[in-house]
Amino acid sequence: MSPANVIKQQMASLWCAATWRVFASGWIVIMAGWRSVAMLWRPALCCAIGLTLIAAAAALQPGRGIAVIYPDIGEPYRSVFARIIEGIEEQTRSRVPSFAIGANPNMQEIASELRRQDIRVVIALGRNGLKFTSGLERDIGVVAGGVLSIPEADARNISVHSLAPDPGLLFTRLQTFMPAAKRVFVVYDPNQNTWLIRLAREAARARGLELVAHEASDLKTALLIYQDIFAKANPQNDALWLIQDSTTVDETSVLPLVLRETWGRNLVFFSSSVTHVRRGALFSLYPDNVEIGRHLANSALGYLSSGGQGPRGMVSLKAVRLAVNVRTAGHLGINLAGRQNFDLIFPEQ
């Protein structure tokens, strides 16, 4: 595509966006004005004009070369993607074209739109966003996010930012809450989390911890291993880590067992899932969505600047926030006073 055509298309896109906003702003002013004329037209009009200016200020120039593809999904997950896209746009300092993918997306239409906008790297969010990119032309790079893990073979050619919290960050937090920690137990399915456990082993070694990682390919085996862990764990120095693993961390059998046994034995239990903190895990790290967007944007910009030679493979989640259960901390005798820097505190009341 010639530079002149690119400029023309960008201008057309800008005009479309501007026209739409003018239309929407006009609607706001007309509706608000119409209802308020008889009552309070001046303040209403001022507010409407103010909002129009705000909306106009928010309308940034479209970016170049980067697009986002994300699943068309309901709330509250929709907001997750909205925040990630917000982070991408903040980092690229431009308005990035984004495409919501429904159950039956028109692949050809989107692909031709990507071509029309001269997109060279796609940030694919969610498993369905990633699935869509498999049909893209080879010269379009892919940076993936919003997934836990994908088969390692599939991750060789693209950069995948996982939603699994970085084990190193988790272990650092553990040592803050429990300075005497020596061993961390974890049960994982090798088909899902080999890459994460590899990272975890390195992170544990670097922090003077011993990672005792048990493999389990089915729930029954996992339950037996958990019972064995409870039998031999020493609450003074040991901790249990639940990862995001659909085989070994079952919500109906494993989680109740873990909650009951760790409470009864005063054993520290932390998790990669924030929802477990609500149930009684001591702490978890959960995604900072805007920051994830920035990380993804950096990867995409890196891809563009390196001419398609960016890093490949799985990357654990480093854009995290901290959730803590103060009730569990109290039970374990962990003094949180003076350490109020938590993003989420459970229980709610």
Partner 1 sequence: MTRTCIKLLCTLLPLAWTSTAAAQPLVEEDLAMAYGDKATVSIATGTQQALRRAPAVATVITAADIAAMGAVNLDEVMETVPGVHVARKGTANTALYVMRGVFDANNPQILMLQNGIPMTLMFLGNKGDVWSGLPLDNVARIEIIRGPGSALYGADAYAGVINIITRTAADTHGTDIGVRAGSFGTWDTWVQHGGKLGPMDIAAYLRVGDTDGPKETIAADAQTLRDRTSGRPPASLAPGPMNLGRDAVDASLDLGYDKWRFRGGYKLRDKVGLGAGIGSALDPTSWAKSERVTADLSWLDPHIARDWGLGFTASYLHYADTVPTNLLLAPPGAKLGATVFPDGQIGGPNKWERQVRLSAYAIYSGFADHSLRFGAGHDDLNMYKTATYKNYLINQTTGAVTLTGPVADYSVIQPFMLPQRRKVSYAYIQDEWHFSRDWTLTAGVRHDAYSDVGGTTNPRLALVWDASHDITAKLLAGQAFRAPSFNELYGINNPVNKGNPALKPETNSTLEAAFSWQARKDMQVNVNYFRYTMKNAIRAVANTPGSMLTTYANSGEQQGRGFELETVWDVSRSLRVTANYSHQRSTDSATNTDAGYAPRNHLYARGDWRFTGGWQLSPQVNWVADRKRAFGDARADVPNYTSVDLTLRSERNKGHWDFAASIRNLFNATILEPSLAPGTAIPNDLPQAGRSFYLQATYSL
Identify residues 211-250 at the interface with partner 1 (CB under 8 A).
244, 246
**Structure tokens that stand for 182 in this block:** 């020596």
Kindly state the DSSP code that residue 93 receives in the 8-state scheme: T
Question: Any contact of residue 54 with partner 1 (CB under 8 A)?
Answer: yes
Site for partner 1 in 91-150 (CB under 8 A): 100, 102-104, 126-128, 146-148
**Structure tokens that stand for 90 in this block:** 């903040």
Query: Please, what is the minimum distance in Å from the beta carbon of residue 308 to partner 1?
Result: 27
Residue in 57, 134, 139, 232 binding partner 1, rule: CB under 8 A? 57
- CA nearest 216: which of 232, 200, 203, 227? 227
Query: Please, what is the minimum distance in Å from the beta carbon of residue 118 to partner 1?
Result: 25
Q: Lay out the site mask for partner 1 across 19-38 (x = CB under 8 A, - = otherwise).
A: --x--x--xx--xx--xx-x
Site for partner 1 in 253-272 (CB under 8 A): 255-256, 259-260, 262-264
Kindly state the DSSP code that residue 266 receives in the 8-state scheme: T
d(C-alpha 217, C-alpha 188), whole Å: 8
d(C-alpha 242, C-alpha 168), whole Å: 14
Residue in 6, 14, 44, 212 binding partner 1, rule: CB under 8 A? 44
Contacts of 316 (CB under 8 A, 6+ apart): 162, 164, 165, 166, 167, 196, 199
- Largest Cα–Cα distance of the chain, in whole Å? 76
Residue in 26, 43, 208, 308 binding partner 1, rule: CB under 8 A? 43
Question: Any contact of residue 347 with partner 1 (CB under 8 A)?
Answer: yes
Contacts of 298 (CB under 8 A, 6+ apart): 91
Query: Please, what is the minimum distance in Å from the beta carbon of residue 142 to partner 1?
Result: 17
Question: Any contact of residue 58 with partner 1 (CB under 8 A)?
Answer: yes
β-bridge mates for residue 211, sequence order = 184
Question: Any contact of residue 297 with partner 1 (CB under 8 A)?
Answer: no
Q: Which one of 79-87, 181-189, 215-223, 300-308 is the stretch in contact with partner 1 (CB under 8 A)?
A: 79-87
Residue in 78, 95, 116, 214 binding partner 1, rule: CB under 8 A? 78
- CA nearest 117: which of 140, 100, 83, 134? 140
Kindly state the DSSP code that residue 241 receives in the 8-state scheme: E
User: How many other C-beta atoms can be found within 10 angstroms of the C-beta atom of residue 325?
Assistant: 25
Question: Any contact of residue 314 with partner 1 (CB under 8 A)?
Answer: no
Question: Any contact of residue 252 with partner 1 (CB under 8 A)?
Answer: yes
Size of the site for partner 1 (CB under 8 A): 84
Site for partner 1 in 151-210 (CB under 8 A): 163-164
d(C-alpha 229, C-alpha 97), whole Å: 49
Query: Please, what is the minimum distance in Å from the beta carbon of residue 138 to partner 1?
Result: 25
**Structure tokens that stand for 186 in this block:** 């974890």
Query: Please, what is the minimum distance in Å from the beta carbon of residue 5 to partner 1?
Result: 28
